[in-house]
Amino acid sequence: MPTISPLRRRPARLTLGVLALSLGLLTSCGTTDKNTTVVNGLDCGLVRADLAGDWTVTFNASTVNLVRCEIMADNNRTITVSATPLVFSNVAINGSDDSPSLQVVGNTAAPEVNPELTVGIGADSCLALARVWIQAENLYLDCFGTFDRNSGSYTAFCDSAELDTKAMPDGVVTDSCDLDATITGFINIT
């Protein structure tokens, strides 16, 4: 009967050790939460029901200038954003056509532009991009943030704007600009 040298036993023990460690890591990789797998904290667990309700958008009252506009004539135009809350009831919540995200679309009670609110939220990261129509300025503010499922809210940082410069605005963008200062907004779902 052949004997196994001590040198040959070490690779077998090493292989068994690596397999045991791998199985341990694999089982600790994820947990489930509302039909979404959370892997190493990369998945925020977002589901459609988290986004249902009335959306209220409130900005810090701000006055900023438009800069780096595609149409030079809009550079240095001053815009003012009010602190009056915008409430969007009966929002539509849909899956995105081209990304692993959910899209929220809404209008206020008297929509002049359709839609006035568009929010895309990554189902894996909860990163959000909100596009909010500011009627007094005939523009959309583009605002970024991370949605918090527990509170149903996020703080939005708005750093750019999309303008409708036509005499009769219809919400169709004709120019895009950066803002010379960030506008902070707060988005809450109730």
Residue 3, pLDDT score: 57
Report the distance separating Cα 153 and Cα 141, nearest Å.
18
**Residue in the block written with tokens 């929220």:** 104
Residue ranges in the chain whose pLDDT is less than 50 = 9, 11-38
Report the distance separating Cα 102 and Cα 48, nearest Å.
7
Q: What is the tens place of the pLDDT at every residue in 96-143?
A: 788 788 999 999 877 778 899 999 999 889 999 999 999 999 999 999
Terminal CA-CA length for the chain? 76
Question: Which pTM was predicted?
Answer: 0.75
CB atoms within 10 A of CB 186: 15
